Amino acid sequence: MIRDFWGVSKHRVKDEVDALQEHVDPDTWEAIDAVRNMGYIGVTMEADVNMIIDLEPREAQKLISLIQLLLPEWYVEREDRQRGVKEVIDLSKHTDSKRDDTLEKIEEYKLL
């Protein structure tokens, strides 16, 4: 999500999380950093794909909870905002077109 949504791509996960700090509110960053600190699961797996790390159910649930929190905040809200902005722009274009048609009719009327 850090790479996809924020476009942050670093060599190490820690560097990605640290870079994210300037983009998100302090509470969100602290939660992301806390999940990262719970075991460096992704980093360890990148270093040795044959190594399996046992994960406590609580740790997995914390990660899932964070993802469930961030998905609507990052992706859904962004989509809703983009849709709303597009609707305003489209409405403006429609209004401009109607205004242009009205002005043309006024000009035609003046010529009659």
Q: In the 3-class helix/strand/coil scheme, how is 36-86 assigned residue by residue? A: HHCCCHHHHHHHCCCCCCCCCHHHHHHHHHHHHHHHHHHHHHHHHHHHHHH
CA dihedral 9, 14, 15, 20 (to 10 degrees): 70
One digit per residue, pLDDT tens: the chain, 112 residues? Answer: 999 999 999 988 889 999 999 999 999 999 999 888 876 655 555 555 566 666 678 878 888 999 999 999 999 999 999 999 999 988 888 787 777 777 777 777 776 5
Q: What sign results for the dihedral spanned by CA atoms 58, 60, 61, 66? A: positive
- How do the domains of the chain map onto residue ranges? 2-111
Q: What predicted TM-score, i.e. pTM, was given to this entire model?
A: 0.60
